[in-house]
Amino acid sequence: EDQVTQSPEALRLQEGESSSLNCSYTVSGLRGLFWYRQDPGKGPEFLFTLYSAGEEKEKERLKATLTKKESFLHITAPKPEDSATYLCAVQANTDKLIFGTGTRLQVFP
């Protein structure tokens, strides 16, 4: 069964304290792994798509990496405005996305 597990569930960081969020997956035939950011009461905002092991993508303070079993979202020198829930999702052999439960990130000044 296709499955996505995110850790930690919640993360509190001091402003400037870099860290990483983990997304572990088991899927038959990965077509893509997606990272989204979701603010309270809003829809998810697309961040990255990764398609193959070894691929990396960056956007401002965020960097996403992918291996055959997991993906990491690295946050470098985070700011309070980076506080949100970060969702990971995988797409297997269908159009459907399978979401993890997310990591709630809080960055304190």
Partner 1 sequence: GAVVSQHPSWVICKSGTSVKIECRSLDFQATTMFWYRQFPKQSLMLMATSNEGSKATYEQGVEKDKFLINHASLTLSTLTVTSAHPEDSSFYICSARRGGLNNEQFFGPGTRLTVL
Per CB under 8 A, residues contacting partner 1 are: 31-32, 34, 36, 41-46, 49, 87, 91, 95-97, 99-102
The CB-of-24 to partner 1 minimum distance in angstroms stands at 15
Q: Are strands 103-108 and 10-14 parallel, antiparallel or unpaired?
A: parallel
Please say which residue, 15 or 39, places its beta carbon nearer to partner 1.
39
CB 72 within 8 A of CB 22: yes
The residue among 41 and 109 lying less far from partner 1, judged by its C-beta, is: 41
Q: Any residues with CB less than 8 A from the CB of 43 and at least 6 apart, and which?
A: none
For the bound state, the minimum distance from the C-beta of residue 19 to partner 1, rounded and expressed in Å, comes to 21
Residue with tokens 């993906």: 71
Nearer to partner 1, 33 or 75 (CB): 33
Side chain identity at 72, as an amino acid letter?
F
